[in-house]
Chains A and B, each alone.
Chain A
Amino acid sequence: MSSHREAPEISKDPVADSTDLYAFVSPDNPDMVTIIANYVPLEEPAGGPNFYEFGDDVLYEIHIINGTDVQHEISYQFRFQTQTRNPKSFLYNTGQITSIDSANWNRPQFYSVSRVDEHGQSTVLASGLACPPCNIGPRSTPNYQTLAEQALFKLPGGGRVFAGQRAEGFYVDLGSIFDLGTLRPFQNLQIIPTPAQPGVNGTEGYNVHSIAIEVPKNLLTKDGSNPTDPANPNSVIGVYTTASRRKASVLQGNGQDVEAGPWVQVSRLGEPLINEVIIPLGQKDFWNSQDPQGDSQFASFYAHPELAALLPVLYPGVFPNLAAYTKARADLEAILLTGIPAGIIKGFQNFTGTIQADLVRLNMAIPPSANPSLLGLLGGDLAGFPNGRRVFDDIVAVELRAIAGVTIPLVDPSFKPDAAAGEINDFIPVQIPKGVRYQKQFPYLGEPFDGYDSRPHQE
């Protein structure tokens, strides 16, 4: 998946497992940038009685660099605290939850937001903010939209924040791709052929936990300006999210843990599918522990990605040009590790300098698209992935096609991509699968599926 359960250790620690990271100019408020960091993969909506929460013992962070200064970050830190109102009840809710402060909600969760500037100065922006409950069902959470709206909070200096359950917005044919790289629409061409079929959305009907923050653009630029020139390096930001745990944890045998020591990073996420597909199994946990500023140590995996070598093997005769291409993949290194420099795509750049780092890079001066393409830049839409990432972008199609070679001519015009490279995807035609939920307003990911009504994979 994008980054769900992507590494051996973090797959055992769901509350700290970052699944997707989005960054885009807010379509209904273009002076703002929205950043969404998702955690807790594959929430089965009916998974009670202990429904899903953020980890009180996890430090969640969203980090932002500006322009070509990759070494200095602005960070937003999120810390959660959960209460049990009635410890004598086994119930998540003891009656209907009709407002976010309902006494019937037995496990309310609250959080604080701090901003750490590029000099390390920390400011608490807000505390005691309430998350909404999980979407239980029509009896327990009868008007979920109201609960979610009550969990939208304004931040000092502008912008808003939301933290809580949302519908999974990322779509992929999970069951197919991990069955020896099968793509159902093309599986008649696979090395173990079966009749072609439509794709199946493996995340259909599941929820996640989202930390969404809307930030005025001028709080993200070094000079406090609102960027309007796409060619200006300071119009570009790079974003990644991390989760950290305390270094020492001692189980006391009474249900209480002792925690001590500095925060240790256990999960990180920038561009989708990097730790999932690019980084090999033996390096994934290590990758999660590292700062992106040190990602040159992983550059060889981008230069010679395993999947690019596998495609011609899994689909014999379909990718002859890709099979014959032995040069380092400078296209992938540029797109994914430094951003695309000016002069490659007319009117566009999201270059953050020569330091290689896995970041979602967003040129904030590119306005939202009135007619967005799910294929982002590959579809001629400069406001889409990999210029940031919107909630609906088909990042699987874009990255599969890039790995298959469609972006090589950007840096090596002598290469001719295979005909199939520009067509492959797990959903044909390229489309948002039925049942995926979004909304037009912040936080843009849709209302979570409720436990009573939902039937994951049967929506």
Chain B
Amino acid sequence: MAKLTRRGFIGQTTASVATIGVLAAVPTLAAAPEMTDVAASDTSAAELSATTFSESVVAHVSDLASGEITIMSGTKEIILRDTDLVMRLLKAVR
């Protein structure tokens, strides 16, 4: 039997419906904490603006070199890799 960790329990028991909605609205994000490579956004601004987010979304550029971004909403955490987005973010703060 696979090891059940306490953190696994917490994740299973506290994930919210609202969070799942957020994830579903961004099809390029994997609904699992593993790394996901994203070449370019295939979601339009109109689609995003039409989506209702009931949870706050916090994004953290966790590794500039690899373009790794950690996205948190509800009790979910998604890690994706998008070097283009990271480059645009860097330009914005320059």
Q: Which residues of A contact B (CB under 8 A)?
A: 59, 61, 63, 71-73, 75, 77, 114, 116, 118-120, 122, 242, 244, 246-248, 250, 258-263, 265, 291, 293
- Our count of residue pairs bridging A and B at CB distance below 8 angstroms stands at 68
Contacts of B4 in A (CB 8 A): 71-73, 118-120
* B residues whose Cβ falls under 8 Å from a Cβ of A: 3-14, 55-58, 60, 72-77
Asked if B58 and A59 sit within 8 Å, CB to CB, the answer is no
Is there an interface contact between A291 and B56, defined as CB atoms closer than 8 Å? no
- The A contact surface, by secondary structure, is strand
Asked if residues A260 and B5 are in contact (CB atoms below 8 Å), the reply is no
CB-CB under 8 A for A120 and B13, given A247-B77, A248-B72, A263-B75: yes
Q: Taking CB as reference atom, which chain A residue is nearest B2?
A: A71
Contacts of B9 in A (CB 8 A): 73, 75, 116, 120, 122
Tell me what chain B mostly uses at the interface: helix, strand, loop, or mixed.
mixed
Alpha-carbon distance between A336 and B73 when the two chains are bound, in angstroms: 39
Q: List 24 A-B contacts (CB under 8 A).
A: A59-B10, A73-B6, A75-B9, A118-B4, A120-B8, A120-B13, A122-B12, A242-B6, A247-B77, A248-B58, A248-B72, A259-B56, A260-B57, A260-B58, A260-B74, A261-B73, A261-B77, A262-B7, A262-B10, A262-B72, A262-B75, A262-B77, A263-B7, A291-B5
Distance in angstroms from B40 CB to nearest chain A CB is 25
Known: A72-B4, A120-B4. A263 touches B14 (CB 8 A): yes
Q: Given A61-B6, A120-B13, A263-B14, output 4 extra A-B contacts at Cβ < 8 Å.
A: A73-B9, A261-B75, A262-B77, A263-B10
Whole-angstrom distance from the CB of B80 to the nearest CB of chain A? 15
How far, in angstroms, from A114 to B14 measured CA to CA in the complex?
A: 11
Residues of A within 8 Å of B77, CB to CB, are 247, 261-262
CA distance A276 to B56 in the complex (A): 37
